Every structure is written in structure tokens, then in C-alpha cells.
Amino acid sequence: MFNIKVDYPSEEEEFEIVDTTTSREAATPVNVLSADDIVNIQRLIRRVPVSEHVLKYAVKLVRTSRDENLDDIGGYLSWGAGPRAGQYLILGSKARAIMMGRTTCDIEDVRAVAYPVLRHRLVTNFRAEADGVTADDLIGRLLEKVEP
């Protein structure tokens, strides 16, 4: 669903990681959520309403990634995002809305999850590599180009 960039830990964090994972006692994992909790959260997220204009925006973002006539985007892609990307833009937007304390998602939620949802779904070509254009650059261009 998401491709999230995770940086290296700070020196202090790395020290703690090494220290706690190499001590005499193995850490005992503690359940934070049960399987039922996870299923209930998934059901809750699927029940979050989405307006038609938010759905259309997500679909338009995905379809624009496949538009070969847009040289500043399509000219750098071997493959654009498929329909599953639209599904995950909406599901991610619903989850974000819930986490932000809202009962419905909006365009800003779609824009906020666009990078982690699309990053691994856009396959750049040789031209992109030669010009130093990344999938994140192309997502930024999509977000600028596609009007809500």
C-alpha cells in the first residue's frame, strides 16, 4: 500500500538499538493491538464517506500518471500507476482523516498520501535517470498539474 522513506537513526538512537538488541535478556514483544482490533479499525476506515469530487481527484491523479502526452511527466515514465493506486489513495486518505480526528476525507488527505502511495508505482525510464528525475519529483509535478 505505502512506500515510506525511513532515514538512518541518529547516533543516540543507533546506540540504543545496538544496546537493547544485544543485551543478555531478549526483549519480550508486547501486543499493542489484537487481531480483532486491527479488523475493526479496517472496517471503520472503509466506512468513512468520500465525496465524489475527492474520488474523481484520486482517479485523475492516477490517470494523469499514465498520460504519455505530458512530456514533463509521461516522458519520464516507463509505467504509470494502475487502478490499485487509486484504491490506496482513497483508503490512505480515509485512514489519515480518522487519525486527524475527522469523519470524512478531503483533497488534502489525498495529496498527503500521494507520495507513499505512488512512489513505488511509478516506474521511471532511462531519460528520468539521465536527467536526475525521481518518482518523487514526478509526484510533485502531478500534484501541481492536476486540479482538484
Q: What is the pTM of this model?
A: 0.86
Rounded CA separation 74/2 (Å): 22
Contact present, 86 and 59 (Cβ < 8 Å): yes
Contact 65, 142 (CB under 8 A): yes
Contacts of 8 (CB under 8 A, 6+ apart): 14
Is 33-145 a domain of CATH 1.10.8.80? Answer: yes
For residues 110 and 46, give the distance between their C-alpha atoms in angstroms, rounded to a whole number.
15
Confidence of residue 72 (pLDDT cuts 50, 70, 90): confident
- List pLDDT tens digits, range 102-137: 999 999 999 999 999 999 999 999 999 999 999 999
pLDDT at 6 over 90: no
pLDDT tens digits along 79-107: 999 999 999 999 999 999 999 999 999 99
What SS3 state is found at 90? helix
Q: Where are the domains of the chain?
A: 33-145
**Cell reading at 44:** 471503520
